[in-house]
Amino acid sequence: MKVIGFSGYSGSGKTTLVEQLIGRLRLAGQRVSVVKHAHHQFDIDQPGKDSHRHREAGAFEVVIASDRRLAKIREFEVRTDPTVHQLIAELYDCDWVLVEGFKHADVLKIEVWRAETGKPVQYPHDPFVVAVSTDSPERLPQPTGLPLLDLNDPDAVVDFLLADPARYEYRPPFDDAFGATADADAGRGAQPAAEFDPPAG
């Protein structure tokens, strides 16, 4: 599984670029998943629907599925801000994970920058930025030796990624216990010690 982030301020064009890359990677035979940072009050459920009623009644998690799709909604018991690695651990196996947001995450990322936003750049201070996607390279506030990718040419961005896919191969930051730690940190209570069977012998 390969992971690449897309960071930039609101209005820079991250979502449009990620949307374009998903389709193009699919055409290249790749299975693509997305991890997205959201605001505190986001909700994908609909009031009045059964799943929403279950949540309102106090369910910790609701999994709803049909023969077309599956969704899992978790209500954190303790307010928390999951890391990008905890969210990646939730994903089914795929070829590419595109991470939108998580500006300060320790994953390789492409910075998306438009001069019109009036926002600063990230690449001079972030060693995880591997390229800058922009529609105005001549207006970058600081010179850089990083590859400059045309924000209006998503095919060029896909070519850049597929030219060296091994570079983005994902390695979780912790050992095999990471998944359990991530679940606990993401609002899932730890399993009581009494539930573990002692080793035989």
In a domain, 58, yes or no: no
15-49 residue pLDDT tens = 999 999 999 999 999 999 999 987 767 667 778 77
SS3 60: coil
What CATH number is given to the structural domain containing 6?
Answer: 3.40.50.300
pLDDT at 197 over 90: no
Question: What tens digit of pLDDT does each residue of 67-112 get?
Answer: 998 888 888 888 888 899 999 999 999 999 999 989 999 999 999 9
* Encoded tokens for 122: 């990230």
The model carries a pTM of 0.81
Q: What is the residue range of 148's domain?
A: 2-42+81-188
- Domain membership flag for residue 141: yes
Structural contact between residues 78 and 68, judged by C-beta atoms closer than 8 angstroms: no
The string of DSSP letters for 3-26 reads: EEEEE--TTSSHHHHHHHHHHHHH
Asked if residue 166 is part of any domain, the answer here is: yes
The predicted structure's pLDDT at residue 73:
82
158 found inside a domain: yes
* Per-residue confidence (pLDDT) for residue 99, from 0 to 100: 97
- Given pLDDT bands bounded at 50, 70 and 90, which one contains residue 59? confident
How many domains does one find in the chain? 1
3 state SS for 123-150: HHHCCCEEEEEECCHHHCCCCCCCCEEE
- For residue 71, tell me if it sits in a domain: no
